[in-house]
Chains A and B, each alone.
Chain A
Amino acid sequence: MIKRSSWALPYLIFMIFFVALPLVLILVYAFQDGSGNFSFENVLRFFSDSDAIATFALSLEVAIENTVLCILIGYPAAWILANKKYNRSAVTIILFILPMWINALMRTLATAELFNVLGIRLGKGTLLFGMVYDYLPFMIYPIYNVLNKMDKSFAEAAEDLGANPFQVFWKVTVPLSMPGVRSGILMVFMPTVSTFAISEFLTNGKIKLFGTIIQENINSSMWNYGAALSLIMLMIIGLTTLISGDSGKAAAGGAAI
């Protein structure tokens, strides 16, 4: 009989081909010039390309702003939703999850069209507004999940020991809900920093983010430079993941219904 541990082999082989090899290829293409020789040309080009650096900085800025806004707006919402005193209906929760299931491009376009009809000029403001629209549910849901499963007796114990409601919230509830906030950050920050298309729609093509530059280079057959830009984004992602700790499971838990 074959050992059951060998059942993972097909998937391992699959991943070596479709996960590991493609990432290695990014590295390889990033350090090659057009004719296939080893070179630092592409990476150096990024650092001397002031437009690309400006876009890169703007992407980081927008992603951070979006993430902070989502926490500020989303945390209270998640807290209220998880609090039996204020919310007993499953319908409101479904209403908050629902947008996660609708195609992001579709929601973005709907938002952009609404701005257009209302006569709001598309620009950085609408970009942020639209991004918060798109990603807020991804922040609320993981936080709600953690708060909902939290052992209420901790908060009660703190109360019994004389903490006021404010202290209970800051010293007990918030620290216990940090895993949810972390996976929320991952689910909001990572997609925003790499988004393309969304930023073009929300600003009528006026503002380009880093993802768009990667896409433009790849689409115009500048594969080597595109790969170098992808490599730079990969480093940002790696860094974020390292900072926020064991994330894979957290992110998946948040994505489930």
Chain B
Amino acid sequence: MMKKILAKAYIWLIIILLYSPLVFIAVFSFTESRVLGNWTGFSLRLYENLFSGGMQGAGSLLSAVENTLLIAVAAATVSTALGTIAAIGVHNMKGKLKNTIQFMNGIPMINPDVITGVSLFLLFVFLHFSQGYLTVILAHITFCTPYVVLSVLPKLSQMNPNIYEAALDLGATPAQALRKVMIPQLKPGMVSGFILAFTMSLDDFAVTFFTRGTIGLDTLSTYIYTDARKGGLTPELRPLMTLIFFIILILLVVINVRQPKQSKSIKG
């Protein structure tokens, strides 16, 4: 009994410590004060400002959020397609080439963000490729696709290899067999790959930082970085962080409640 209380206390102590900065930000998102930690009464003013864009040096915060989502959707979609097709290829491969591809697939996952960022920056400089949305999306695809490949591969080995052949024998074209037979079987792996790719892209700072060029393209991360270096956070970031926190909390709860029904499909 004593042990159990100690164990629980330990867990909750860590949780409280982990969450205190986030809770702190969330609490102070409900007051007007521009200085953090200074409570001037309950107010939803910062939330209003955030959505109406009525804030100092503003507008750009909402467009940064838009860019972040746009880039994440684009990168995750392309990565899922590219990664799934690659996984099917790798699964049907043998020998050295298979090992080479799997080795290369591991590189972006192991490489620190700074290295991925710098190396892609050098690539775009070398090719005289002007940097902007396209380069950021390409860079995100580079570090997202490996996760898709690794999410889809286990589903392929669980699959009965004969059903694709059976579909072909029964007169399906390869495209039909892919769409009607393979993809439904691989879907759980593709979904978890997509989710992983999406969150990796949302979270990224370093790679975006090096590949966004000088056209003033900002994602949430780069916006926060610039903002914090100017000294002090824009107060409207507080409600934004609070909202993101709750959206992710709800998403995770939903995914985890659904999970048992889908036979653990989202586990990597």
Contact = CB atoms under 8 A, between A and B. Distances in A.
A and B associate in one complex: yes
Nearest to B81: A10
Contacts of B93: 5, 8
B105 A211 contact: no
Contacts, number: 259
Contacts of B110: 186, 190, 237, 241, 247-248, 251
A113 B36 contact: yes
B42 interface: no
Contacts of A90: 256
Given A97-B252, A114-B20, A114-B21, A109 B114 contact: no
Nearest to A118: B37
A196 B113 CA distance: 10
- Main secondary structure, interface of B, reads helix
A73 B267 CA distance: 25
Instruction: Give the interface size class of chain B.
Output: 35 or more
B224 interface: yes
Interface string B220-233: 11001100110001
Contact of A233 (B3, B25, B115, B203): B115
Contacts of B94: 5
Contacts of A111: 21
B83 A257 contact: no
A153 interface: no
Contacts of A193: 112
B22 A107 contact: yes
B44 interface: no
B113 A191 contact: yes
A163 B18 CA distance: 36
A18 to B, nearest CB: 4
Given A94-B256, A97-B252, A237-B111, A3 B92 contact: yes
B134 interface: no
Interface in A14-38: 14-15, 17-23, 25-26, 29
Instruction: Give the interface size class of chain A.
Output: 35 or more
A243 interface: no
A43 to B, nearest CB: 16
A87 B114 CA distance: 38
Nearest to A230: B118
Interface in A193-238: 193-197, 200-201, 211, 214-215, 218, 223, 226-227, 230, 233-234, 237
Given A101-B248, A133-B21, 10 more contacts: A19-B104, A86-B8, A94-B253, A94-B256, A96-B18, A98-B248, A99-B18, A211-B114, A218-B210, A257-B267
Interface of A: 1-12, 14-15, 17-23, 25-26, 29, 73, 76-77, 80-81, 83, 85-87, 90, 92, 94-99, 101-107, 109-111, 113-114, 116-117, 133, 136-137, 186, 190-191, 193-197, 200-201, 211, 214-215, 218, 223, 226-227, 230, 233-234, 237, 241, 247-249, 251-257
